[in-house]
Structure 1
């Protein structure tokens, strides 16, 4: 039996190993994808450190994958071998109430790649043909890979959950892999001003270069005054917390204007508070949780990149070989070099 190299996460010991395992066979409606690149995401780290509970005793991680189709499974039409694709980072369960009525986009028990089934820190991965997105010829596969989460999740947060409108003021707490793209996409849809908030001066400078109108240190004692001045005294229409800590969540919430929206994107085990319900209701603030994206969003983003509307040329901080996956995990965990996205190349 033909084998491939793959990373394997063992939930009982919370350890990562590189192994030779059988190349999977695509089933009905599936394709085998030869992986070109796959991103390393903070949610991958959260599985390793136990913040996210394991769903399988052993699983291949990695859910931001691009590559080429190596083999078609039975019943697959509209695709050919060697087609350049992005793999969706999840698949509907097909059994819940929403799936039974055909509302697959709102599956109530979505199965997440690299958690519920094997991901793409490997030479090959199996994907549902219905979840593939074709990559335009002029879009590099390394940039295409991060469309499957690092860019599409911010797109979903800005467009679907936050519903940012032209002229609205936006603040982004944490300008790393997710926050950087929230800044870019908020600017793209017409938000003004766009304000980046981060404790790292190098990251703040990068945020300004990539489209933020202002970049502030959240620990600055004059932070509130600077934010008010930048927004003409109104504060923010929409705040995005891409960190998920108690301190970032609460500061973002308190930076909203009357009727403003806070969108939580980052995740942790910490528990923020909303403060007195009397004040929360009086200022009519909204708190919205966000996760993921619609598969159609990947195609939209691919077109934006292809036509030069969205520049991801600085989003790939480093590419490492699969054999060095432990180094990639360490780089992201300790933010070495302030990465936006580190990619694995099998």
Structure 2
């Protein structure tokens, strides 16, 4: 009976998602590193730190966890209190998720402007609105309200945003991902010691305060905890976008998820919530695979001990799955994903990898058997983030089973070390305030 009720709730939440299949979504790993490097602002970029403090009194500075250069520890620095501009919100950060994409930046595998503050899935409390902010935004997010922030922060104005495709926002990619700024070409972060600019990976969530474009936020109900809910803005957000928009999953579909980290395990939960008939978890860690059973996997495959593709076909009666999700961003798993789907099936790539990584595909099978390879970066913040929060609020997505480890703010660097070592099962979260 409970299962029937959950499925009914999920159907109401989804409310008939668009039939458009997004087959060519930009991802960080699809961009030439030379292009990124040439786009990154120089250390002498002209930004002004004047007037960058909270206008309503209170603290004039904050602490942030700063990335300086690849393979160096994150360090705590004092920053001038960031000040939001029009249609931006200053958020007192409560928690920030620990994502592998940040780790790629830390390890130098994904070029990004530095120094910067990483962290891109957050929860927090609204502190201030920028001058000339739309009154509707102020009404929706009054000071003191609880919010969750998505890593894709749509501008709301570009050609894609105007069509509702927030996940392809041009300004987010051109300014934030390529230059480390918001959409006026400026960062909101300046060091307290010398006023020098520091760049923002999304909102720069590994800090006591962050500035978020309002379109990247939604209200967090009081019933949901700040800490566990931080993962809604990336891990669950990414899984939702993959299942709803890229794969267009339907009840009864068979699904394989390759790579059972924070995003992969979220895909399993989303697949279960949407009524998948079979969900196959693939990883090389028995511990992660055991955890996968608790979040929705009906079958598990250890790719170190057996051929993952052959095992998936065996489980599905020799045909392969309707939908395969690749959540690691590695050439080997890219190939496994394309080979695991049935004729006419969908191979959805959501893993961000080393920017030099390239995937191979069997061209003849792709053509003859209509295999669909779809890139998916995330969901659509304005339309989907409220639905994602509702999934958690109703229990269709279990936050407590998704978050496996919680770190203090001062231990953020240790959290990324543990992530690099593969000792985090599921998703870790950093408590900030």
2:67 counterpart of 1:9: yes
- The aligned counterpart of 2:35 is none
Do 1:94 and 1:104's aligned partners in 2 also have CA atoms closer than 8 Å? no
Equivalent position SS for 1:310: coil
Following superposition, the deviation at residue 26 of structure 1 comes to 1.9
Q: CA deviation at 1:30?
A: 1.9
CA contact (8 A) 1:31 1:69 kept: yes
Aligned counterparts of 1:196 and 1:98: Cα–Cα separation in 2:
33
2:143 paired with 1:81: yes
Structure 1 partner of 2:26: none
Q: What residue ranges of structure 2 are gaps of 5+ in the alignment?
A: 1-52, 54-59, 182-199
Residue in structure 1 matching 2:238, options 153, 166, 175:
153
Within the alignment, does 1:241 sit opposite 2:326 as a pair?
A: yes
Question: Secondary structure at 2:124's aligned position in 1?
Answer: strand
More strand per residue: 1
Conserved? CA contact 2:148–2:229, under 8 Å: yes
Matches within 5 A, 1:39-78: 39-54=97-112, 56-74=113-131, 75=133, 76=135, 77-78=138-139
Q: List 4+ stretches of structure 1 deviating above 6 A.
A: none
Q: Taking structure 1 as reference, are residues 229 and 88 closer, same or farther at Cα in structure 2, changes over 3 Å only?
A: closer
Find the aligned partners of 2:342 and 2:164 in 1 and give their Cα distance.
35
Structure 1 position 312 matched with structure 2 position 376: no
- Matches of residues 39-188 of structure 1 in structure 2 within 5 Å? 39-54=97-112, 56-74=113-131, 75=133, 76=135, 77-78=138-139, 79-92=141-154, 96-98=158-160, 105=166, 106-111=168-173, 112=176, 115-116=180-181, 117=200, 118-188=203-273
Counterpart CA distance in 1 for 2:158 and 2:385 is 24
Aligned pair 1:218/2:303, yes or no? yes
Paired residue for 1:328, among 412, 415, 431?
A: 415
Residue of structure 2 equivalent to 1:343: 430
Displacement of 1:183 in angstroms is 0.6
Label 1:3 to 1:212 Cα distance change in 2 as closer, same or farther (>3 A): same
Give the length in aligned residue pairs: 343
Which residue number corresponds to residue 260 of structure 1? 345
1:294 to 374, 380, 389: 380
Alpha-carbon separation, structure 2, partners of 1:222 and 1:62? 35
1:26 match: secondary structure: coil
Distance 1:237 1:21 in 2: 49
Cα distance, 1:103–1:205 mapped onto 2, change above 3 Å: closer
Given the superposition, is the C-alpha separation of residues 319 and 225 from structure 1 closer, same or farther in structure 2, using an over 3 Å criterion? closer
Change (3 A) 1:98 1:334: same
Question: Shift in Å at residue 144 of structure 1?
Answer: 1.8
By how many angstroms is 1:11 displaced? 4.2
SS at match of 1:254: helix
Pair 125,206 (structure 1): closer, same or farther in 2 beyond 3 Å: same
Measured in 2, the distance between the counterparts of 1:151 and 1:241 equals: 15
User: Hey, what does 1:195 align to over in structure 2?
Assistant: 280
Which residue of structure 2 aligns with residue 279 of structure 1? Answer: 365
Return the alpha-carbon distance in structure 1 between the equivalents of residues 79 and 310 of structure 2.
Answer: 57
SS of the aligned residue for 1:151 comes to helix
**How has the CA–CA distance of structure 1 residues 260 and 103 changed in structure 2, closer, same or farther, with 3 Å as cutoff?**
closer
Distance in 2 between residues matched to 1:297 and 1:341, nearest whole Å: 23
Moved more, 184-193 or 212-221: 212-221
Residue 178 of structure 1 and its aligned partner are, at CA, apart by 0.5
Structure 1's 203 and 6: CA in aligned 2 closer, same or farther, altered over 3 A?
A: same
User: What is the deviation of 1:227?
Assistant: 2.3
- The 1:308/1:46 distance shift into structure 2, 3 A limit, reads same
CA distance in 1: counterparts of 2:272 and 2:426, whole angstroms: 21
| C-alpha distance 30-335 of structure 1, shift in aligned 2 (>3 A) | same
Q: In the aligned structure 2, how far is the partner of 1:124 from the partner of 1:340?
A: 22
Of 226-235 and 27-36, deviating more is 226-235
